[in-house]
Chains A and B, each alone.
Chain A
Amino acid sequence: MKNKKNAYIFLYLFLINCVVMYHYTDVWGYRGVEQLVTSFDKEANHFSLFLLVLYMSIAVMFIYTIIKKTNDIFIMAKYILPRSSKKKFMNLLLHEVGRSTIKLAGIKLIVDILFCIWIDSNQLQWLLFLFFLYVTTFFMWGLIIILLALFKIDKGVTQFIAITFVMILQLLSYDNKFISIFVVASINYREDVLFLIASKILLLLILFWYLRKTVYKYEIYGGEKV
């Protein structure tokens, strides 16, 4: 069952890459992968709605998976918390978010490697950097989703907030490199490697600290919407 699901995800990501390569007939290999993740048409030098829609379908898949996994834990929270501890509860949430993010980003990496390896074999380091950006960015969104659940925000509202913000921040990131911390990659990601690595790690540490504080204050009143 799990292998079947992974195969569907692989096929879906493969088809999205095919659509990009088919649409931009002069864009192959790494350039196609790059245009998709930045939603920026380099040839025309402007943002592309077509690419943004395709990229958002990938982002929605990440967000939906993270929400589903964390929601399962919150459904079981009233059984998990009395039989363990707040620390274990937090570790369980982090483990699920981390595992889902690495799995999806890993499948995306394999698909991208398949598309690039023959044409741009020297781009492997950038593909690995994109893998790092996918993992850290969606792990960060995962922590935000956990925080919203701890604040007892309804699942539907969380979905709406996460998807809307990912889309708006992607658009705003073209003009402001600080906003690009919140998205996987923006137009200048190749020039800002150190800045992106440092800022994303710093942001994750801040979110960890705040999450830890919030989990220890978390109480189950009853009637929670999960």
Chain B
Amino acid sequence: MLKATAYLFLKHSTHRAIPTRYLTAAAELQQDERLQSFRTQEADPSKHSKDHLAQFYTIPLSDRNVLFQHGGLPKTFQQHIKTFNETCLMVREPAVDIINCLKSIDYDKPAVRFVLYGKNGTGKSISLAHVLHYAFKNKFLIVHVPWVGDFMRHCKDSSNSETREGFIDLNINAAAWLLHFRTQNAELLKNPDLKISRDIQWTKRESTAKDSSILELIEHGINRMRFASDCVNILAEEIKLLSNAGICKTLVAIDGFNEFFYPTTKVYTEKKEIVHPNKITLTEGFLNLTKFDWKNAAVIVTVDEMTVKVHEEGTDPSMSHFPRFLLGKHGFEHLDPFLPVNVPLFSKKEHESIMDYFRERRWVRPYPGQDEELYFLSGGNPFTLLDYCKSL
């Protein structure tokens, strides 16, 4: 199965001719030139620069299976990957800016924090995925939360925490996240230097010894879901210590960070009361990781309007996509100081690029004036554009 898809991927991701029934002989040549202009062969994000802006690069299947096995790419995008038989991301300015920053920051200083913000559907998650790929290629230890809404809004189960009074554990979600962490960092976790700094006593009979590999800690958390949430918190502490010691460099990537501060969740106590994220054990671990009291690390976070929209009925006129509003007072104080990175709407060039890509992939039937019409209708919003290309 993988071989077949790999074959198809190889067959379709390289330069190939458009069927002539769409084109005259003269236009075919022009189309080939444009074909090359919207794709780039550079598959290493470290080498992406301003020259590659508005071009599509393909994530190799092997990388994709490791990085995004358990989430990280938006649902609609996953469907597109399946239909197009390839994972192509557009190289856009926010991601390139962050990558350049990551290349040039001094890792001996406290962790730098980036906040990706933008209107709904502008491509924050995709930019985050791009940066993740860069981190993967450069052997960062990746702490990636694909979607905080999975914890807060789609929690599979909840139980009272054993170690802390009044706190709620999300067992299945925590275990699933540990699995995700293990898959992403499979290569790096083989490194014997990644050791736990202290003894951990789970119960009377179960314990994890000091200087045992982090992998054991994770395995324990996955196998024993009861302790998964606590395992996550301990893992967070250990990772910080390891980074401080310089054994590994870490990238923390969290999508939908503002959900950690939004008071309304879909997590309920036994008495059917809404649980504030403060009272969820998992929150503590991730908030710990996003502090600036450690080095050899970088933190990238996105803030999302959808969090608030889902809970509020109708559109609040005071609604804004800016971080200060979405994070709220506590979130802002926690993250301050940070580097805000705006994810803008499509420019005309990016719009043309994605339309060329869709036409090449046979997703969209071309007609004269298509680009201008769709640019006007979508207003440059990437998600809306995808929406309007559905029936074309």
Question: Is B a genuine binding partner of A?
Answer: no
**Chain A interface residues (CB < 8 Å from chain B):** none
**Chain B interface residues (CB < 8 Å from chain A):** none
